[in-house]
Amino acid sequence: MTPRTARFRCLALALLFGLLATEALAAQALNLGIFAYRPTQVLESRFQPLADYLGAQLGVEVRLHILTQEQMNEALARNQLDLFFTNPSHFLMIRSERSLGGAIATLIRRGPTANTSSLGGVILVRGGDSRYDSLSDLRNATIAVPGPYFLGGFQTQLFEFREIGIDLQRTARLRVLGSHDRVVRAVLEGDVNAGFVRTGIIEQLVEEGRLQRDDVRVLHPQELGEFPFVVSTRLYPEWPFVALPHVDQKLVRRLASSLFALAEDHPAARAGDIAGFAPPADYQSVELLARSLRVPPYDRVPAVTWLDVLQQYRYWIFAVVLLISLLALTAIWLWRQRKRLVREQRRLSAMVETWPEPMLIIRRGLFVEANSAALQLLGYHRRESLAVQGLAGVSPPFQPDGEPSLEKSRALLQAVMDQGVQACEWRCLRNDASELYVDLTLARIGQHDDGEPAILCALHDITRRKRAEAQQRLAASVFSHAREGIFITDVEGRVIDINDAYQVITGYNRNQSIGSLVELPDEGVSVLMYARTHGRWVGEFRSRRQDGEAYIKALTITAVRDDRQRLTHFVGIFSDITRLREQENRLTRMAHYDALTGLPNRVLLADRMQQAMAQARRQGYRLAVAYIDLDKFKPVNDAFGHEAGDELLVTLAGRMRTALREQDTVARLGGDEFVALLVDIPDRALGETLLQRLLTVIGEPVWVAGHSVQVSASIGVALYPGRQELDGDQLLREADQAMYHAKQLGRNRYWITASDQGGDAWSP
Amino acid sequence: MDRRSFLEIMIATGLLGAGLPGCSSSQPLRMGLHPWIGYESLYLAEEFGWLPQRVRLLHGASATDSLQGLADGQLDAAALTLDEMLRARNGGLPLVAALIMDVSAGADVLMVHPAISRLPELAGKRIAVEPSALGELMLQRALERAGLAASDIQRVDLPVNRHLEAWQQGAIDASVCYEPVASLLAAAGGERLFDSRQLPDTIFDVLAVNAERGANRSQDVTELILAHFRGLDHLVRNPHDALYRVASRQQVSVAVVRRSLAGIMLPDLAANHRYLAGDSRIERAASQMIGLASDSDTSDAKVGEFYSARWLPRRLP
The mean predicted confidence, pLDDT, of chain A is: 86
CATH number at residue B213: 3.40.190.10
Q: Mark whether B77 and B124 lie in a shared domain.
A: no
Cβ separation B248–A224 shorter than 8 A: yes
Total Cβ atoms within 10 A of residue A407? 11
The answer to whether the Cβ–Cβ distance between B240 and A236 falls below 8 Å is yes
Nearest CA in chain B to A238: B240
Instruction: Nearest by CB to B248, from A223, A281, A285: name it.
Output: A223
Co-location of A703 and A637 in the same domain? yes
Q: Are residues B145 and B220 in the same domain?
A: no
B288 to chain A nearest CA, in Å?
Answer: 39
**CB-CB under 8 Å, A235 with B240:** yes
pLDDT of residue A277: 93
Residues B261 and B276 in one domain: yes
Examine the pLDDT at A11 and tell me if it is beyond 90.
no
Q: What's the CATH code of the domain at A677? A: 3.30.70.270
B209 and B292 fall within a common domain: yes
| Nearest to A623, CA basis, from A658, A594, A654, A663 | A663
A472 in a structural domain: no
Question: Is A329 within a domain?
Answer: yes
* Residues B212 and B82 grouped into a single domain: yes
Whether residues A653 and A634 share a domain: the answer is yes
The beta-carbon neighbor of A237 closest among B48, B240, B254 is B240
Please say whether the beta carbons of A465 and A369 come within 8 A.
Answer: no
Domain presence at residue B308: no
Residue B307 lies in a domain: no
**Total CB pairs under 8 A between chain A and B:** 43
B49 touches chain A (CB under 8 A): yes
- A372 Cα distance to chain centroid: 14
A290, part of any domain: no
Determine the distance in angstroms separating the CA of B235 from the nearest CA of chain A, rounded to an integer. Answer: 11
For residue B2, being part of any structural domain is answered with: no
- Residue A137 and residue A11 in one domain: no
User: According to the model, what pLDDT value does residue A77 have?
Assistant: 84
Assess whether B224 and B183 both reside in one domain: no
- What is the mean predicted confidence (pLDDT) over A454-458? 87
The reported pLDDT for the residue numbered B22 is 38
Domain-terminating residue out of A551, A582, A613: A582
Q: For A458-484, how does the pLDDT look when each residue is reduced to its tens digit (9 = 90+)?
A: 888 888 888 898 898 888 888 888 888
| Higher-scoring residue by pLDDT: A177, A18 | A177
Distance CA A645, CA B277 (A): 164
For residue B208, what are the domain limits?
Answer: 16-105+202-299
Which of B48, B237, B244 lies nearest to residue A235, judging by beta carbons? B244
Domain's final residue, options B198, B231, B246: B198
**One domain for residues A373 and A450:** yes
pLDDT above 70: residue A609 = yes
Q: How high is the mean pLDDT in each 10-residue block of chain B (317 residues)? A: 38 39 63 90 93 91 87 92 87 90 88 90 90 83 88 89 90 88 88 87 90 86 94 90 90 86 88 82 78 48 72 86
Task: Nearest chain A residue to B48 by CA: give it.
Answer: A163
Percent of chain A with pLDDT over 70: 93
| Least confident piece of the model among A24-38, A192-206, A630-644, B249-263 | A24-38
Q: What per-residue confidence (pLDDT) applies to A26? A: 41
B306 to chain A, closest Cα gap in Å: 32
B9 belongs to a structural domain = no
Residues of B in contact with A224 (CB under 8 A): 244-245, 248
Is residue A731 included in any domain, yes or no?
yes
Asked if B253's CB is within 8 angstroms of A226's CB, the reply is yes
Contact state of A118 with B240 under an 8 Å Cβ cutoff: yes
pLDDT band of residue A1 (cuts 50, 70, 90) is very low
Q: Residue B150 pairs with which residues in a beta bridge?
A: none
A236 close to B (CB below 8 A) = yes
Confidence at residue B299, expressed as pLDDT on a 0 to 100 scale = 41
| Residue A44 falls inside a structural domain | yes
B48 to chain A, any CB pair closer than 8 A? The answer is: yes
Q: Which residues of A touch B49 (CB under 8 A)?
A: 163
Closest-CA distance of chain B to residue A280, Å? 12
Q: Is residue B317 part of a domain?
A: no
Residues A310 and A442 in one domain: no
Residue B5 lies in a domain: no
Q: Which of A118, A237, A238 sits opposite B244 (nearest CB)?
A: A118
DSSP, residue by residue, A488-516: EE-TTSBEEEE-HHHHHHH---HHHHTTS
Q: Please state the separation of Cα A433 from the chain's center in Å.
A: 28
pLDDT tens readout for residues A189-200 = 988 999 999 999
Touching A: B residues 92-121, CB under 8 Å? none
Q: Which of A532, A561, A582 delimits the end of a domain? A: A582
What is the bridge-based pairing of β-strands A422-429 and A83-85?
Answer: unpaired
A414 and A371: one domain? yes
| B window 216-275, beta carbon within 8 A of A | 237-241, 244-245, 247-248, 251, 253-254
Is A224 within 8 Å of chain B by CB? yes
The Cα A541–Cα A526 span in angstroms is: 14
Number of domains in chain A: 6
B50, B232, B240: best mutation site toward chain A, by most A Cβ within 10 Å?
B240
d(CA B317, nearest CA chain A) in Å: 9
Q: Residue A191: give the domain boundaries.
A: 118-237
Nearest CA to CA, how far is B144 from chain A (Å)? 40
Is the same domain home to B237 and B277? Answer: yes
Whether residues A499 and A555 fall in one domain: yes
Contacts of A103 in chain B (CB under 8 A): none
Residues ≥6 apart with Cβ < 8 Å to A195: A123, A124, A125, A143, A144, A145, A183, A184, A186, A187
Q: How far apart are CA A746 and CA A163, in angstroms?
A: 187
Give the gap in angstroms from C-alpha A238 to the nearest C-alpha of chain B.
Answer: 9
User: Do A384 and A521 share a domain, yes or no?
Assistant: no
Nearest to A225 among B237, B239, B248 (CB): B248
The closest CB to that of A284, out of B237, B248, B254, belongs to B237
Rounded CA-CA distance B222/B54 in Å is 11
CB of A235 less than 8 A from some CB of B: yes
What's the domain count of chain B?
A: 2
Task: Say how far residue A429 (Cα) sits from the centre of its chain.
Answer: 24
Contact A225 B251 (CB under 8 A): yes
Contact criterion met (CB below 8 Å) for A612 and A679? yes
Q: Over the stretch A659-712, which tens digit does the pLDDT of each residue have?
A: 999 999 999 988 889 999 998 888 888 888 999 999 999 999 988 888 888 899
Nearest to A285 among B48, B238, B254 (CB): B238
- Report whether pLDDT(A446) > 80: no
Looking at the fold, whether B120 and B64 belong to one and the same domain comes out as no
For an interface test with B, the pick among A87, A109, A224, A311 (most B C-beta atoms closer than 10 Å) comes out as A224
A724 and A611 in a common domain? yes
Q: What is the pLDDT of residue B3?
A: 36
Q: Is A225 on the interface with B (CB under 8 A)?
A: yes
Give the pLDDT mean for A303-317: 75
Last residue of a domain, one of A443, A467, A491: A467
pLDDT at residue A762, rounded to an integer: 57
B191 and B238 inside one domain: no
A280 preceded by a cis bond (ω within 30 of 0): no
The shortest C-alpha distance from A190 to chain B (Å) reads 32
Q: Rounded mean pLDDT of A22-42?
A: 76
pLDDT of residue A755: 53
CA A353 from centroid of its chain's CA atoms: 10
Name the domain boundary from B198, B218, B245.
B198
Residue A294 within any structural domain of the chain:
no
Question: Dihedral of CA B71/B77/B81/B83: which sign?
Answer: positive
In a domain, A295, yes or no: no
In a domain, B94, yes or no: yes
B146, B165, B198 — which closes off a domain?
B198
Å from A103 to nearest chain B CA?
A: 16
Are B206 and B292 in a shared domain? yes
pLDDT of B14 reads 39
Same domain, B189 and B273: no
Residue A318 has pLDDT above 90, yes or no: no
- CB contacts of A282 in chain B (<8 Å) are 237, 239
Could you give the 3-state DSSP secondary structure of residue A172?
Answer: coil
* Closest alpha carbon within chain B to A284: B237
Whether A680 is in a domain gets the answer yes
Q: Is the dihedral of CA A252, A256, A257, A263 positive or negative?
A: positive
Cβ distance of A224 and B245 shorter than 8 Å: yes
Domain of residue A556, CATH code:
3.30.450.20
CB contact under 8 A, A234 and B241: yes
Assigned domain for B310 exists:
no
* CB B307, CB B279: distance < 8 Å: no
Cβ distance of A226 and B244 shorter than 8 Å: yes
Per-residue confidence (pLDDT) for residue A759, from 0 to 100: 47
The SS3 assignment for A99 reads coil
CA B261 to chain A, closest CA, distance in angstroms equals 17
**Which residue is closest to B245 within chain A, CA to CA?**
A224
Residues B131 and B280 in one domain: no
Interchain proximity A285–B241, CB inside 8 Å: yes
Tell me how crowded residue A478 is: count the other CB atoms within 10 A of its CB: 12
**Range A489-494, long-range pairs (CB < 8 A, 24+ positions):** A489/A518, A489/A569, A489/A570, A489/A571, A489/A572, A490/A568, A490/A569, A490/A570, A491/A567, A491/A568, A491/A569, A491/A570, A492/A517, A493/A517, A493/A518, A493/A520, A493/A524, A493/A525, A493/A528, A493/A570, A494/A518
> 3-state class of A263 per DSSP?
coil
